[in-house]
């Protein structure tokens, strides 16, 4: 049986995938699955495809062709060196390179392929794509829409009819499609897009921002220097990618220019909020297309079952945020957005070849992870706001960083409490760990602290808090973080059963030696006879009492009396060994302590 490869022939990047053991796999070269869709000639006239061609694009534009996909279907020739080629010929060079990659990895010739195109491609553009495949010595068994491929990647055989919104933000183009899947048939109900909007435009916004800052400081416009601009384009692209997971990044280029014979260096820190302000107008355009697509498909937001993200630019957290707010449901990011279309093309090829293809299996975090912070909750300020850092359904391993700030002047201590759950109020989520970073600098309120979460495939969570001004850092490692939610449910069930057994009229008699109570165990919060949840509640409450007693000495008589009464209630709850009562009273104490500390 001939293998049918799947190819995503993209404007900026291209990939090739194949079905292995019933699952789509993207084929790599030198550890990288992505081939930049760039063709060039080196100074000696030798062919360059991919990274090598992209690297010379700024310095040798006359010997480089980029974004040829935008010219597919047009009757025009593009120059490459001293010759001219049709768009189909340039695309064929990219396709043949991917074909050779597949043959090298698989160890045998490849003759057949499924190739993807945007949903809005005309028949002429589709015919040109097929011709490019034939020039690359491939039998193009099917041309399929990119959103169709993305849908197939997630589930080629849904049990019931589903409507999906595919938001595809690539390097050079954007389109959004409404797809309906039923009995294995994918129908595109509507599609809208912008063929000149993508991650490259994000790069340009960031480039302009950096160049403007450099020009203000040194009086030199780096955009006018080809070598400097080429270096900076690569640097801002890397910075953009880093800001998808990190809260800040530094763009540093040594000897980027010179002035009066003196070399000048670029060193600029950019945070995610600055970057998101730059790209917000571009993302607003994508929402206009989204609204048009939904209107044409005659569907409302509540009728969309899933939101799928395609294209590397969708890694930007702001994309997730605006789509979740607009559509009222979380986005699906389980599958690498760069690779989803190629994988879907491979799935289509497998189905044509009669292979039983299952959905892609990806390890994800089942619950959102974040920390407790001061913020607005239900219309008023609260210290119980849940600030998400790693969203539910994020592929593992995952690393994310967010910026927080101290609430008071000269604040020396910050408590980092990590929770798991989906509620905006931490009191309804599960505490998975906490620690304190002490010795913060004497700075006004707003001293920034970076909190980073690293979650690996084994569910081990590392939490790091770093004071941005000084580099002071503290961290804690939490084993089996993903299991904490299930453990908490089990612990709650045990507590409920113990409570039920406690109401029995006659105690259960045990034979001598079968059960014993260590003297003093009931007064020891770490005793083994207590559930883990109760142990933690007592330990936290004991620490809170010590803190509150210190605060009470500085409070006015009325507030001190109120706090003393609350502490009495908290001690009674501890004595009763009721985790729920302890937590309930402790939250009230925390609120009052926080209020008194700020006076």
Q: Into which CATH architecture does domain 4-197+282-352 fall?
A: 2-Layer Sandwich (3.30)
DSSP H helices, 438-556, are: 484-502, 532-552
pLDDT at 507: 43
- The pLDDT of residue 506 is 46
Question: Quick one: pLDDT at residue 86?
Answer: 95
Specify the pLDDT at position 380.
Answer: 85
Q: Give pLDDT, residue 518.
A: 28
- Residue of 209, 148, 134, 210 lying closest to 184 (CA atoms): 148
CA within 13 Å, CB half, 473: 11
Indicate the class that CATH gives domain 369-482. mainly beta
- The CATH superfamily assigned to 199-278 is ATPase, substrate binding domain, subdomain 4 (3.90.640.10)
Residue 239: helix, strand or coil by DSSP?
Answer: helix
DSSP β-ladder status, 139-145 and 112-117: parallel
Q: What is the reported pLDDT for 69?
A: 93
Cα three-residue angle 414-415-417, rounded to 5 degrees: 145
pLDDT (0 to 100) of residue 358: 63
In degrees and rounded to multiples of 5, residue 118 shows phi and psi of -60, 150
The residue ranges of the chain whose pLDDT is under 70 are 1, 156, 358-363, 458, 479-533, 535-536, 597-599
Distance between first and last Cα of the chain: 77
Burial of 536 (0-12, 13-18, 19+ CB in 10 A): buried
Q: What is the pLDDT of residue 59?
A: 83
pLDDT at 346: 95
CA dist., res. 306 & res. 151, Å (int): 10
The pLDDT, as a whole number, for residue 103 is 96
Give the containing element (helix H, strand E) for 581: helix 579-597
CA quadruple 50, 114, 150, 245: dihedral, nearest 10 = -20
Q: Across the strands, what pairs with 190?
A: 178
Rounded CA-CA distance 455/399 in Å is: 6
> For tokens 């849904």, what's the residue?
158
Enter the tokens of residue 325: 């707010």
The DSSP bridge pattern shows strands 112-117 and 4-9 to be parallel
Q: Which residues contact 351 (CB under 8 A, 6 or more apart)?
A: 152, 156, 357
Q: Do the strands 398-405 and 139-145 form a parallel or antiparallel pair, or are they unpaired?
A: unpaired
């Amino acid at each position: 049986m001939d293998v049918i490869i799947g190819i995503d022939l993209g404007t900026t990047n291209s990939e090739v995938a194949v079905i292995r053991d019933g699952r789509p796999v993207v084929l790599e070269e030198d550890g990288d699955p992505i081939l930049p869709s760039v063709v060039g000639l080196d100074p000696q006239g030798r062919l360059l495809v991919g990274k090598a061609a992209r690297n010379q694009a700024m310095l040798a534009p006359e010997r480089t062709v980029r974004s040829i996909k935008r010219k597919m279907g047009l009757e025009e020739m593009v120059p490459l060196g001293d010759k001219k080629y049709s768009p189909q010929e340039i695309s064929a060079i990219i396709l043949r390179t991917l074909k050779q990659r597949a043959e090298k990895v698989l160890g045998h010739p490849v003759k057949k392929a499924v190739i993807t195109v945007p949903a809005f491609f005309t028949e002429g553009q589709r015919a040109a794509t097929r011709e490019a495949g034939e020039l690359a010595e491939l039998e193009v068994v099917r041309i399929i829409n990119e959103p169709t491929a993305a849908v197939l990647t997630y589930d080629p055989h849904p049990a019931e009819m589903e409507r999906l919104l595919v938001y595809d933000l690539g390097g050079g183009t954007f389109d959004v499609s409404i797809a309906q899947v039923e009995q294995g048939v994918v129908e595109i109900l509507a599609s809208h897009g912008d063929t000149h909007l993508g991650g490259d435009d994000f790069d340009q916004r960031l480039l302009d921002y950096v160049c403007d800052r450099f020009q203000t400081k040194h009086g030199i416009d780096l955009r006018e220097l080809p070598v400097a601009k080429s270096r900076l384009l690569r640097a801002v692209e890397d910075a953009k990618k880093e800001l998808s997971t990190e809260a800040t990044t530094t763009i540093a280029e040594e000897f980027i220019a010179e002035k009066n014979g003196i070399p000048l260096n670029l060193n600029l820190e950019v945070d995610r909020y600055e970057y998101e302000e730059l790209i917000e107008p571009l993302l607003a355009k994508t929402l206009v297309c989204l609204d048009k697509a939904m209107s044409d498909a005659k569907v409302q937001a509540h009728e969309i079952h899933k939101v799928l993200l395609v294209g590397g630019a969708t890694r930007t957290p702001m994309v997730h945020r605006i789509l979740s707010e607009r559509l009222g449901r979380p986005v699906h990011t389980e599958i690498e957005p760069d690779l989803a279309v190629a994988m879907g093309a491979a799935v289509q090829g497998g189905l044509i070849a009669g292979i039983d293809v299952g959905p892609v299996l990806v390890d994800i975090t089942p619950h959102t992870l974040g920390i407790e912070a001061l913020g607005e909750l239900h219309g008023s300020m609260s210290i119980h706001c849940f600030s998400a850092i790693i969203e539910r359904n994020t592929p593992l391993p995952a690393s994310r960083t967010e910026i927080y700030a101290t609430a008071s002047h000269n604040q020396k201590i910050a408590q980092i409490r990590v929770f798991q759950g989906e509620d905006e109020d931490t009191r309804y989520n599960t505490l998975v760990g906490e620690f304190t970073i002490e010795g913060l600098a004497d700075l006004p309120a707003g001293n920034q602290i970076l909190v980073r979460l690293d979650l690996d495939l084994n569910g081990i969570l590392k939490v790091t808090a770093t004071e941005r001004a000084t580099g002071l850092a503290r961290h804690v490692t939490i084993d089996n973080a993903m299991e904490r939610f299930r453990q908490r449910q089990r612990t709650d069930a045990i507590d409920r059963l113990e409570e039920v057994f406690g109401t029995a009229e006659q105690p259960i008699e045990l034979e001598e030696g079968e059960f014993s109570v260590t003297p003093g165990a009931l007064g020891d919060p770490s005793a083994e006879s207590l559930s883990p949840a109760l142990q933690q509640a007592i330990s936290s409450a004991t620490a809170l009492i010590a803190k509150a007693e210190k605060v009470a000495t500085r409070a006015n008589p009325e507030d001190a009396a109120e706090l003393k009464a609350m502490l009495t209630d908290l001690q009674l709850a501890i004595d009763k060994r009721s985790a729920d009562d302890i937590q309930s009273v402790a939250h009230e104490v925390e609120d009052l302590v926080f209020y008194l500390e700020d006076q």
